Amino acid sequence: MTPEVPYTTVAEQAVLIPPSPEDTQRAPKKPRRARRAEHSVLFDSPGPKTKRVIAIGNVVGVLLVAWAIYAIGAKLAEPSLIAKKGQLDWELWKINFESDTWTEFYLPGLWNTIKAAVVAIFGAVVFGLLFGVGRLAQLKPVRWFSDVIVEFFRAVPVLLMMIFLWTFLGSMQFPEPSFWAVVIALTVYNGSVVAELVRAGVQNLPNGQHEAADAIGLTRIQALVNVLVPQALLAMLPAIIAQLVVALKDSALGVAISYFDLLRAAQVRGTPYNALQTLTVAAVVFIVINYLLGRSGEWLAGRMKGRTSRLDDKFAQEIPINVSALSASAMLEPVDQDGYNEQNLRAEPGWLDDDMFESKKP
């Protein structure tokens, strides 16, 4: 590849010879499928026979999916008793393309959804920090109190809290009772999950952090506030974004207490004959927002690799928290005190098609 240049040292060659296009390009990646095959714990790399079986399976799979889509489509296109028209009829879908539907229903509804979720997540972080630190406090009464609060709000269904708060705030002549019921219910629930993350994050920091804080004479509270919690918080940031997704999803529960969120808007607009059409829009909007948020959480988790000591995977699994927060903490890799990734050290490849936990790949 490199032309012969006589009587030059290697260093000189480097100056003399312009880099070839091959050098500047990245090393060719293995095809995705090949990487998958060698990383699967259950499956060997396929031989010619297995490859044939896989190809046949693929064709059958595609046919099955196509058939399912066709069957559902055909079923929807049939006129039903109530609507007298097929569900795919333009007359029914037209509603989603009227400007009123957006300016009067979807957009205000979406704004209310986002408003409730964002206010709640800020509240949740404050609540979580307060009670997370409370659970680590040295004073026993403080610890017990925080324990009881956190365990209680984590165990009670959010919907029950919303219904209670709605009635309660309403009877107290509180302004906008349904908005505040949604926000407070989401705050205390997500806050207690965050409190658990704070506690787990702090307990899971390397001992050296704690010892160093002791050594320079910080009190316990000073150590928590100045050394331990900030690190735990940084490590938790992706999990907090995951919690925002949870809050967004749970804000839809506001329907039960007639909070005018996106779902409620779609429900009202779709009554009585267009529910399928309007709820589809609401569902798609929710899915897109949550998917993008989830992705940005993963991206953040990838960016923050090695910035701090992290929540241990194993430890995070033991906290009985909401599943979405769990999947977020599963994205965090254990990194030991010197910044080495434990998984790299053990040389365990992140086999399997890990689309969701992209950052987990070495």
Q: Which of residues 128-187 bind another protein (CB under 8 A)?
A: 151-152, 154-161, 163-164, 167-168, 171
Residues 313-332 binding another protein (CB under 8 A) are 317-318, 320-324, 326-327, 330
Cα separation, 259 vs 107, whole angstroms: 14
Considering only 245, 311, 331, 335, the residue that binds another protein (CB under 8 A) is 245
Instruction: Kindly indicate which of the ranges 51-59, 96-104, 210-218, 229-237 contains the residues binding another protein, using the contact rule CB under 8 A.
Output: 51-59
Transcribe 317-351 into DSSP letters: HHS---HHHHHHHHHSPPB-TTS-BHHHHHT----
Query: Closer CB to another protein, residue 154 or residue 310?
Result: 154
Q: What is the per-residue binding string for another protein in 204-243, x denoting contact by CB under 8 A? A: ----------------------------------------
C-beta separation of 286 from 104 below 8 A: no
Residues 333-362 binding another protein (CB under 8 A) are 348-356
Residues 279-298 binding another protein (CB under 8 A) are 279, 282-283, 286-287, 290-291, 294
Question: Total binding residues for another protein by CB under 8 A?
Answer: 82
Query: Closer CB to another protein, residue 153 or residue 227?
Result: 153
- Residue 46: strand, helix, or coil: coil
HEC profile of 12-35: HHHHHCCCCHHHHCCCCCCCHHHH
Transcribe 128-192 into DSSP letters: HHHHHHHHT-SSHHHHHHHHHHHHHHHHS-HHHHHHHHHHHHHHTT-SSHHHHHHHHHHHHHHHH
Query: Closer CB to another protein, residue 218 or residue 343?
Result: 343
Residues 14-43 binding another protein (CB under 8 A) are 33, 36-37, 39-43
What are 162-171's contacts with CB under 8 Å, separation 24+? 162/253, 162/254, 162/256, 162/257, 163/256, 163/257, 166/257
Q: What is the per-residue binding string for another protein in 75-114, x denoting contact by CB under 8 A? A: -x---xxxx---x---------------------------
The total number of residues shown for the chain amounts to: 362
Query: Closer CB to another protein, residue 127 or residue 286?
Result: 286
Taking CB under 8 A as the rule, does residue 118 contact another protein? no
